[in-house]
Structure 1
């Protein structure tokens, strides 16, 4: 039986590590527990070597260290999952009109959530891929600037040749920027489908996106 003792202890320690990972869901608790385990591993390895060998727990320092890294690197994992489930517009606003052919993949869900937070999604209009952010949803000025910055950060989107004045007017108080925007001519619709395709490819190519959007 003694020859299997180490393996039994290893399985028990791994089970405890898995339990700790599951029961500690609050980010602040995962952060502190991770730091404690991260320090405990090396301390046990260098200052309690004889005790560890006597107890046949040679794997304890390594498991403690690895578990600590795991807790720190995933401290917000449960928070993000619960936030998406609670706040997603498809769940939070079941009366919202979404077109039947609207994609339901995580990218579209996250995009809808961001639009809902930044500019609001109306319940009286059907949201389609052809829905324009600027014309149909009335996004313009400083709100448009904030939206594009949020899209760039949230989805690691490379805006490439994106020209904000092609779609949006600048804030009303900035006369100089309004003159620059006016020189671009009539505004072009910026559709939900264009944003969706740009996010999927992680890049913005004006001609390609506008051509695909018009099909």
Structure 2
């Protein structure tokens, strides 16, 4: 029976490892415990060798080190389960106009707006709410948002002209020169984005007229 003791002990430790992985879901906690176990491994190996051998726990230092490394590498494993609630679910801070669309497409669009440029907490959102005039989106932020919009919704931007709605980034002299003479900026509204996503294409005249 004694000859099987190390294997029994190892099996118990492996089971405890699996339980530890399931129970610890906070990324910060996983990080700290991971560092602790990584440090404990060599400490046990060189500082408590005799005690480990007497208890037949020869694999404990190595296992401790490997578990610590595993926790560090997977510290964000459960991060997606703790995302903040969707903007449409935060009723106390999100004001939507009557008859504002609440279908999955609009929900995803609002989520993207929230992540890329931020949405006002106590201002009513309408289809005619504009990114450039009402939400203060411009320059590099506007370019980044439109790139994210194109990728997220697989949108064909067609004849979309960034200078029609936004100023170029202040640090981009070449683009500022190209943008000269474009006149007053036109509002780019949430309604226009919504229609473009619905039709999978960007037609400036159609979107501006319908919106």
Alignment TM-score, normalising by the size of structure 1: 0.58
- Name the CA distance, whole Å, in 1 between partners of 2:82 and 2:194: 21
How far has the Cα of 1:92 moved from its partner?
A: 3.8
How far has the Cα of 1:120 moved from its partner?
A: 0.2
Of the candidates 128, 132, 136, which is equivalent to residue 126 of structure 2? 128
Q: Deviations over 1:80-131 (max 9, x none)?
A: 8x678x4310124632211121101000000000000000001132100000
1:28-43 paired onto structure 2 within 5 Å: none
Gaps spanning 5+ residues in structure 1: where?
A: 1-78
Alignment TM-score, normalising by the size of structure 2: 0.60
Residue in 2 that maps onto 1:212: 210
Residue in 2 that maps onto 1:158: 156
Q: Secondary structure at the match of 1:177?
A: helix
Contact 1:87 1:113 in 2 (8 A): no
- Name the CA distance, whole Å, in 2 between partners of 1:94 and 1:181: 40
How far has the Cα of 1:182 moved from its partner?
A: 2.5
- Name the CA distance, whole Å, in 2 between partners of 1:141 and 1:97: 26
RMSD of the TM alignment (CA)?
2.1
- Name the CA distance, whole Å, in 2 between partners of 1:83 and 1:126: 27
1:82-121 paired onto structure 2 within 5 Å: 86-92=84-90, 94-121=92-119
Of the candidates 172, 178, 181, which is equivalent to residue 180 of structure 1? 178
User: Residues 83 and 104 (structure 1 numbering): CA distance in 2 closer, same or farther, change over 3 Å?
Assistant: farther
Q: Secondary structure at the match of 1:87?
A: coil
How far has the Cα of 1:148 moved from its partner?
A: 0.2
Larger Rg: 2
Runs of 4 or more, structure 1, over 4 Å off, are none
Residue in 2 that maps onto 1:149: 147
Gaps spanning 5+ residues in structure 2: where?
A: 1-78
Of the candidates 199, 202, 205, which is equivalent to residue 201 of structure 1? 199
